[in-house]
A and B are shown apart, each in its own frame.
Chain A
Amino acid sequence: MIGSLHVIPRWLHPAAWWIWALGLAAAASRTTNPLLLLLIISVAALVVTARKPDAPWGRSFMFFLRLGVAVIVIRVLVQVVFGAAFGTTVLLPLPGVTLPSWLAGVRLGGDITFESLLMAFYDGLRLATILICVGAANSLASPSRLLKSVPAALYEFGVSVVVAMTFTPQLVIDVDRVRTARRLRGRPTTGIRAIAGSAMPVFEGALEKSVTLAAAMDSRGYGRRGALSAKKRRTNSALLLLGLVAACIGAYALIAAGSPVALGLPMLILGVSICLVSITLSARAAVRTRYRPDPWALPENLVAGAGVLVAMSFASAAWLLISGLDTPSNPPTWPALPLLPLAGLMIAATPAITAPPLPQPTLASARRNEIEVAA
């Protein structure tokens, strides 16, 4: 463990961050205990603070935090407007209306009780926590590195996403340049008309560039693949068909009346798995390799493992019926701090140390102005 403190700075595999964050989110989905939820948020914030890169996507955590607050506010407001109040502690007595029966007799307004507000707050907080965990992953995992590690079967999809991500800033620069160039013809450069007027030439230019890009990709060996024997192709197609049929049967069985869980779920999982096997086998025909792929080593295992463990600690606490995961709001009770989930959260915070530190920011990120000058 001590050794891992002296690791060479590098980027952690983005998938490890996602597993960790989703584990944390799964844990959050199992509880309405506000203390636990706030602790989960703190853990996420701690790790993000420790390992967040200085990149545009690194800032999305703040966005998700604000989103979380909004979710709580909306949830509480919905409760006030639509909630049939329960509990005895009336904070604000208000008149209520019951809508006519063609609106199924919804009751609007009514007394605001502490109990119902508390319930709404817990519920909103849980959703907000899940969102914030996702935000942590968005902040920590580099999107371009995530794309580098897409499985071989999705390589082409990955390439088009890479093209999109590379091209987006270029488009913004182009629109801006063309918009200001309208001045040279004595046309307005601000307002909707100016943007619309400059969007079209940029759009056409972008479309043309796609053809040049395709030619360049073709010339550089894009889409080279070895021949898969006809027999193998047929086998793969048959596998795919089988998997698709199984997945459809499974999905249908899930919603059909009275069908046992034992049919729908396994069938769906089996079908999807067969499909995945088929596309993986098909992708074997490709000859591509990866340049400097992100390794999956000890730190990745530690970070992903922390995510898995925290999810398991909450799930097993629920399974063992350990009290404290749910906090009753009617009557209001002070939330407890159950030990097992707490231990899980301690582990979930370890990536703040076990994840390798980030490489020093290169000059690259400090060169935005030069991009502007070059353009």
Chain B
Amino acid sequence: MISFEHVSITYPGATTPVLVDVNLQIPEGELVLVVGRTGSGKTTLLRAINGLVPHFTGGTLSGRILVDGRDTAVNPPRELADLVGVVPQDPMSGFVADIVEEELAYGMECLGLAPDVMRRRVEETLDLLGLVELRNRPLLSLSAGQRQRVAIGAVLTSHPKILVLDEPTSALDPGAAEDVLAALQRLVHDLNVTVVMAEHRLERVVQYADRVVVVPGDGEPVISGTASEMMGDAPIAPPVVELGRLAGWHPLPLTIRDARRAAGPLRELLTGRPAPLRVISGERDLAPLTSADHLTVRYGDVFALRNVSTTISSGEIVALMGRNGAGKSTLLNTMVGLKATSAGIVRTNGKDPREIKGSELVHCVGLVPQDPGDLLEASTVAGECRSSDHDASVDPGTTRALLALLAPEVLDGTHPRDLSEGQRLLLALAIVLAASPPLLLLDEPTRGLDYPTKTRLAKILRELAAGGHGILLATHDVELAAEVATRVIVLAEGEIVADGPTAEVVLTSPMFAPQVAKILAPEKWLTVAEVRAAITGEATG
């Protein structure tokens, strides 16, 4: 269906090619997963399939890309629109219309389909993706998961044979992600669509993939193979695969189901062995850094939080989980005084956060918002660091030194908007940490982060907690929560439905349990690292 023949791509002004001598054959009706670090050329590969690279971006493509027999050199993206549907990373930025139904029809209008065909396909697509109730809704009012499904529907109406998606689940909660993936799987199985998608969250998608393409970056050759072949020695792998490798299971399981079948002996081995308890190390002042008491927050007549009571103390890493729109961001915003309470009490550092003014606030609490770019106003990284030192009234150079610790590769002269998503997050984190606030809040920090960056973030968070910071982290990423959190709070429709030590909360939840827990249940293990420590401890002890 798609064939890359000796493809190398160089962007205008660049001296080295992004992709070198790529050879790929993707057969019809497969679900292909493209993995690789940020900046490895993954997105370039995806965008080359419909000719956006180089027709849209400029640059040089050597070699040949054939898509269903059509050469992208002579077919610009618009001529391939009936064949390849592309769903951009941020669906909102690709919407042309303002109403769901109009958006679904836009591509067909461009292709010049007959009105009765358009009408029929819109209805079919609304059904296929479960969007019927949303048909007259403004796109702006949809949740992230709904937007993603509309974006998929908007390209599906053109009946493409190939669907290309860039990180379709990165902004979604586990439930919404499964809806999207189920829809994609239905396309592959029932309609024989070829799906090519890039995704960092392997644990969510690898079990659906027929084929995995690894883009290592730095001019290393692109390799591809069936999912289980590739997972055998891929540098990054989801926990299920890592556990399989650790236990030496063969064939390597990709799904929880397969892994559970193979996991009998491992479970036995671990039985009776106490899973490591996550305790807050050292003597701590247990006075809460922030507390909410019967907190209620509303937007107009919509209740975002109802009667929420909790506290965050020093040394804790608390993961705040729940569906999109469950009130996670609202809780964080209320704790820093961005949002006023409607009833109940919030105390941060012993004060009402709305009353804490100016630079006093940055010394009490730091929040890295969902889009870290919201914090950035300067035109260079160095400028941003200087203004941060000034805001926090700390010694000049403090922020820059922190940034050098967190992200050593970031250069002074870069425009903050040219940084990768992960680098931008770490820059915002450095700015927030400059005033060394005892309480640190992070809203959805792992969105769009690749595995190495996520590992680095987890390490940073543990060190901060060990240093006495209290951390509250709103996240959809169950694996991250399992890895770092000492406590988990689950919100649903603005109410706390669970609040307790990580293991207790996540083990019982089908939605928030990490893969290792699902495989090893009823044993209480959360991460591969814990299991590895237990096993190797056995071997040496």
Residues on A lying within 8 angstroms of B by beta carbon are 144, 159, 162-163, 165-166, 169-170, 173, 177-178, 180-181, 183-188, 197-198, 200-201, 204-205, 208-209, 212-224, 286-293, 362-364, 367-375
Residue in chain B with minimal CB distance to A373: B299
The reply to whether A221 and B140 contact each other, CB–CB distance below 8 Å, is no
The reply to whether B374 and A219 contact each other, CB–CB distance below 8 Å, is no
The reply to whether A166 and B338 contact each other, CB–CB distance below 8 Å, is no
Assembled-state Cα–Cα distance A162/B109 (Å): 15
The reply to whether A181 and B338 contact each other, CB–CB distance below 8 Å, is yes
11 A-B residue pairs with CB within 8 Å: A177-B374, A178-B374, A183-B337, A213-B94, A216-B88, A218-B56, A220-B154, A224-B81, A289-B112, A293-B115, A371-B140
The reply to whether A291 and B109 contact each other, CB–CB distance below 8 Å, is yes
The reply to whether B141 and A220 contact each other, CB–CB distance below 8 Å, is no
> Using Cβ atoms and an 8 Å threshold, which residues of chain A touch B388?
185
Number of B interface residues in the complex (CB < 8 A):
82
The reply to whether B141 and A364 contact each other, CB–CB distance below 8 Å, is yes
Assembled-state Cα–Cα distance A287/B78 (Å): 12
Among A173, A177, A293: residue with most chain B CB under 10 A = A177
| B11, CB-defined interface residue at 8 Å | no
The reply to whether B86 and A221 contact each other, CB–CB distance below 8 Å, is no
Nearest Cβ in chain A — how far from B98, in angstroms? 4
The reply to whether B119 and A289 contact each other, CB–CB distance below 8 Å, is no
The reply to whether A184 and B432 contact each other, CB–CB distance below 8 Å, is yes
Assembled-state Cα–Cα distance A349/B377 (Å): 55
Q: A221-B107, A291-B119 are in contact. Are A362 and B136 (CB under 8 A)?
A: yes
> Using Cβ atoms and an 8 Å threshold, which residues of chain A touch B432?
184
Q: A177-B374, A218-B52 are in contact. Are A224 and B93 (CB under 8 A)?
A: no
> Using Cβ atoms and an 8 Å threshold, which residues of chain A touch B374?
177-178, 181, 201
The reply to whether B52 and A288 contact each other, CB–CB distance below 8 Å, is no
Interface 9-mer from B195-203, B300-308, B450-458, B515-523: B300-308
> Using Cβ atoms and an 8 Å threshold, which residues of chain B touch A166?
95-98, 139-140
The reply to whether A221 and B362 contact each other, CB–CB distance below 8 Å, is no
> Using Cβ atoms and an 8 Å threshold, which residues of chain A touch B142?
374
The reply to whether A372 and B140 contact each other, CB–CB distance below 8 Å, is no
The reply to whether A221 and B82 contact each other, CB–CB distance below 8 Å, is yes
New A-B contacts (5) at CB < 8 Å, excluding given A163-B96, A374-B142, A374-B143: A180-B338, A209-B93, A218-B52, A219-B84, A224-B78
The reply to whether B88 and A224 contact each other, CB–CB distance below 8 Å, is no
Nearest Cβ in chain A — how far from B382, in angstroms? 16
Interface 9-mer from B172-180, B273-281, B365-373, B466-474: B365-373
The reply to whether B110 and A222 contact each other, CB–CB distance below 8 Å, is yes
Bits for B2-25, please: 1 = Cβ < 8 Å to A, else 0.
000000000000000000000000
Residue in chain A with minimal CB distance to B55: A218
The reply to whether A222 and B78 contact each other, CB–CB distance below 8 Å, is yes
Residue in chain A with minimal CB distance to B339: A180
Residue in chain A with minimal CB distance to B111: A221
| B35, CB-defined interface residue at 8 Å | no
The reply to whether B109 and A367 contact each other, CB–CB distance below 8 Å, is no
Residue in chain B with minimal CB distance to A291: B105
> Using Cβ atoms and an 8 Å threshold, which residues of chain B touch A221?
78, 81-82, 107, 110-111, 158
The reply to whether A220 and B375 contact each other, CB–CB distance below 8 Å, is no
| B113, CB-defined interface residue at 8 Å | yes
The reply to whether B115 and A291 contact each other, CB–CB distance below 8 Å, is yes
The reply to whether B391 and A288 contact each other, CB–CB distance below 8 Å, is no
The reply to whether A216 and B78 contact each other, CB–CB distance below 8 Å, is no
> Using Cβ atoms and an 8 Å threshold, which residues of chain A touch B391?
185-187
Bits for B102-140, please: 1 = Cβ < 8 Å to A, else 0.
100111111111110011001000000000000011111
Nearest Cβ in chain A — how far from B481, in angstroms? 23
Contact partner of A369 (CB less than 8 A), chosen from B82, B106, B302, is B302
Among B55, B109, B154: residue with most chain A CB under 10 A = B109
The reply to whether B358 and A367 contact each other, CB–CB distance below 8 Å, is no
The reply to whether B119 and A219 contact each other, CB–CB distance below 8 Å, is no
The reply to whether A371 and B138 contact each other, CB–CB distance below 8 Å, is yes
The reply to whether A363 and B136 contact each other, CB–CB distance below 8 Å, is yes
Among B85, B88, B94, B137: residue with most chain A CB under 10 A = B94
> Using Cβ atoms and an 8 Å threshold, which residues of chain A touch B366?
184
Assembled-state Cα–Cα distance A288/B85 (Å): 18
| B336, CB-defined interface residue at 8 Å | yes
Nearest Cβ in chain A — how far from B374, in angstroms? 4
| B50, CB-defined interface residue at 8 Å | yes
Nearest Cβ in chain A — how far from B198, in angstroms? 15
Assembled-state Cα–Cα distance A373/B90 (Å): 18
> Using Cβ atoms and an 8 Å threshold, which residues of chain A touch B318?
none
8 tightest A-B CB contacts, nearest first: A221-B81, A216-B94, A291-B105, A287-B112, A221-B110, A186-B359, A369-B300, A219-B86
The reply to whether B105 and A219 contact each other, CB–CB distance below 8 Å, is no
Assembled-state Cα–Cα distance A220/B367 (Å): 38
